[in-house]
Structure 1
Amino acid sequence: MLLSQVTPTLFLSGADAPFNAALMSQKGITLIVNATLSHAFPAYPGVECLRVPVCDLPCERLDAHFDRVADRIHGNHTGGTLVHCAAGMSRSPALVMAYLMRYRGVTLGQAHRWVQESRPFIRLNVGFWEQLLQYERRLYGRNTVRVELERAGLKRVEPGMVVPLRAEPARAAGPPLSTRVTSVPRSPAVSRTPLMSRSQ
């Protein structure tokens, strides 16, 4: 079991951590966001549970939940928040990155580094990366990273495939400076060509 601390009151994990009552009490967890279809919720007094019923598949619309989850994390003033999925590698990190962009004023590149520092083995699927890129454009009107996909049929994005479009500080206090979008990813389901990004 591995519980990763992203901020003093925000944590990431797989599906086993929520059932460790001592750990949940120690971290002061009062909100559990369960980003799975069927993993059970623990029953703790004073702990709210929120379900995000999404599979870890590139075609799933996790972005439909970005604002709702970010708002609940931001609005949880009674204690800590744990966001988890089955392994804590794709769905839950994507939700946390969306929260960091919306309420901590960081870019997608900064949010990715922030989460990766606390949980180095995150591996978002390609579809969730596309949705996060769209979310960053919606929030800031531009993208700060691109995802380089080199093989047809690739399902996961390795950390080295996330390429900054320009150098940026580790964490910004406010919205990022203007950056020109040079490319965005294309889903493997859409194209079978070896080069999976397109210029804009």
Structure 2
Amino acid sequence: MSVSEVTPTLFLSGADAPLNQPLLCRKRITLIVNATVTHPCPAYPGVECVRVPVSDLPTARLADHFDRVAERIHGNRSGGTLVHCVAGMSRSPALVMAYLMRYRGVTLRRAHAWVRESRPYVRLNAGFWEQLLQYERRLYGRNTVKVQAPRDEGSRPPPPPSTPRLTRAQPESPLVTRRVPFLLPKPQRRTDTKKSTHGGARNPSLRF
């Protein structure tokens, strides 16, 4: 179970955290934003639940709920707010980022960094990113981030920039591919006819 603290009164999680009533009591949660279609809203005394019935699909209109959810989070003065979806990676972080832009006065770039500081594995789908870009333009008249469309919609996404390319086999350098002569040891001055005739055949596997 993972609950991430965005602010002292705002938390992100997956669908398991709202079912843990002792955890909600410790965090003083009085508002739950349930950004799922099928997961239930638990009924706890003194806890309000707001449903955002949106699927985690690029075509889903999560932006239709940005203002409503942001207003409810901002208006919750009686305790903390928990925003959750199924895994806490796409829908709920997008809703929190919209709130941060509207009521904390930050750009989309800063809102994304803020959320990732508390929950590093968030991963919004492309449709939610586009809706957040439109929301930022509406609030500030400009965009601070740019989302690059994938080259092929049917292909798997490329590895993150932090993944080094050196994990693949590299072509051999010229110093490795050129033939290097085998250097024999210097002949000894003394002549010992009893010396083994196999002395020059040491390490026969070391051939270039």
What TM-score do you get using the length of structure 2 for normalisation?
Answer: 0.74
Match of 1:109 in 2: 109
Amino acid at match of 1:24: L
Structure 2 residue runs without a partner (length 5+): 163-208
- Matched residues in 1 for 2:157 and 2:17: separation? 24
* Aligned-CA RMSD value: 1.9
Q: Distance in 1 between matches of 2:142 and 2:103?
A: 17
Q: Report whether the alignment pairs 1:78 with 2:98.
A: no
Aligned to 1:33: 33
Kindly indicate which of the two structures has a greater share of residues assigned to strand: 1
8 A contact 2:150–2:157 mirrored in 1: no
Which structure has the larger Rg over C-alpha atoms? 2
Moved over 6 A (4+): 154-159
Map 1:1-200 to 2 at 5 A.
Answer: 1-153=1-153
Per the TM alignment, residue 41 of structure 1 is displaced from its structure 2 partner at its CA by 1.1
Residues 31, 47 of structure 1: 8 Å contact kept: yes
List gaps (5 residues or longer) in structure 1. Answer: 162-200
Deviation, 1:116, is 0.4
Residues 124 and 157 of structure 1 are in contact (CA less than 8 Å); yes or no, is this contact kept in structure 2?
no
Deviation at 1:147, TM superposition (A): 1.1
Whether contact under 8 Å (1:58, 1:155) holds in the other structure is no
Q: How many residues align?
A: 161
The alpha-carbon distance between structure 1 residues 132 and 148, as it changes in their structure 2 partners (threshold 3 A), is same
Going from structure 1 to structure 2, the CA distance change for 1:37 and 1:157 (only over 3 Å counts) comes to farther
Quote the sequence identity (%): 73
Question: Could you tell me how far apart the structure 2 residues matched to 1:40 and 1:88 are?
Answer: 15
- Partner SS state of residue 106, structure 2: coil
1:147 counterpart SS class: coil
Q: What is the TM-score of this pair, normalised by structure 1?
A: 0.77
CA contact (8 A) 1:73 1:99 kept: yes
